[in-house]
Amino acid sequence: MKNPLIKILFPAVIIFVSIAVFTGTGWLLPFWAGCLLAAALIFRGWDVLHAALLLFMLALEIHLPPFFGLPTVKSLFPLLASTLLVLPFPRRKEALSWIRAGRLGKTSVLIVIVVAAVSTAALVLWANLVTGHHAASGRLPAAGLEAARQSLRRLPLWSVFVFGAPAFALVNALAEEGIYRGVLQEALGRVFGGETFGAKTFVLLLQASAFAAAHYLGGFPNGADGYAMALLYGLVLGYLRDRTGGMLAPCLAHFAADLAIGYILVFYA
């Protein structure tokens, strides 16, 4: 993909995502994401078409309430819909080349276990600090998680622990990894290359910043501290994806963290 306009717009849109959540200008996101999508279609930037379409759909969904009381569906629906929409276009195999397991060596398995353990501990610590020192501010419910908590309250406790929390963790991990370490990281790698340390770092930072921005207002963790935690976590998951050449390793690590979130929500509820 050689078009200079797309090469400028693509990272600019992702950077603006972080700026928008901090400045309250999220209403501009559909416009800028739409510009990227239009450029990809006009200049036949098939390398970024799936990412552009996904970013546009995510930008629109920021202004919509959670579906069926489950915030995770807001990630899953754009991923599935954008994937189906790119199928008729040329080079669809390249657009979907991120769907691969990769290779898991002993070192990678160890890294996954360490990341899962550290992230789980960090989430438990964050939840205790927020509920302990900021309970009056209502940060956890205000972060878009109240709908999930209400859904959990309507289920028998045993079913939440056995089925509900694991199902949430699986769907959310697959959806978010598909978006950030899958579609976005793959497209960014094709545009900016992945041969040099600088290019790899740039790609990892961009996908991680988009992942962190998604957590700032409505994620777990959230707020400025949640943004920083998610940014670091996104970098590690992106490294795992790059190291193993596929999605299995980051999905496993993410599933463990989301499972912890599910159980924390049950405890908090």
SS3 per residue for 151-175: HHHCCCHHHHHHHHHHHHHHHHHHH
For the segment 77-96, the average pLDDT, to the nearest whole number, is 87
**CB-based burial label for 195 (10 Å; 0-12, 13-18, 19+):** exposed
Average pLDDT, the chain: 85
pLDDT of residue 105: 92
Q: Which of 16-25, 147-156, 199-208, 220-229 has the lowest mean pLDDT?
A: 147-156
Give the pLDDT of residue 138. 46
Identify the CA nearest to 234 among candidates 221, 245, 223. Answer: 221
Residues 139 and 132: their CA atoms lie apart, in Å, by 11
Choose between 196 and 50: higher pLDDT. Answer: 50
Region 111-134 average pLDDT: 85
pLDDT score recorded for residue 64:
62
Q: Is 87 helix (H, G, I), strand (E, B) or coil?
A: coil
- What is Dmax (Cα atoms) for the chain? 55
Looking at residue 165, its pLDDT comes to 84
pTM (2 decimals)?
Answer: 0.90
Nearest to 122 by CA among 43, 210, 221, 45: 221
Q: Where are the alpha helices (DSSP H) in the chain?
A: 4-23, 29-42, 46-61, 73-86, 92-95, 106-133, 139-140, 146-153, 157-159, 165-177, 185-192, 197-218, 223-244, 248-268
- What's the CA dihedral at 144, 68, 51, 43 to 10 degrees? -120
Range 221-226 average pLDDT: 88
Q: Under 8 Å CB-to-CB from 144, ≥6 apart: which residues?
A: 66, 71, 217, 218, 219, 222
Does 110 score more than 90 pLDDT? Answer: yes
Mean pLDDT of 34-63: 91
**% residues pLDDT > 70 (the chain):** 85
Percent of the chain with pLDDT over 90: 56
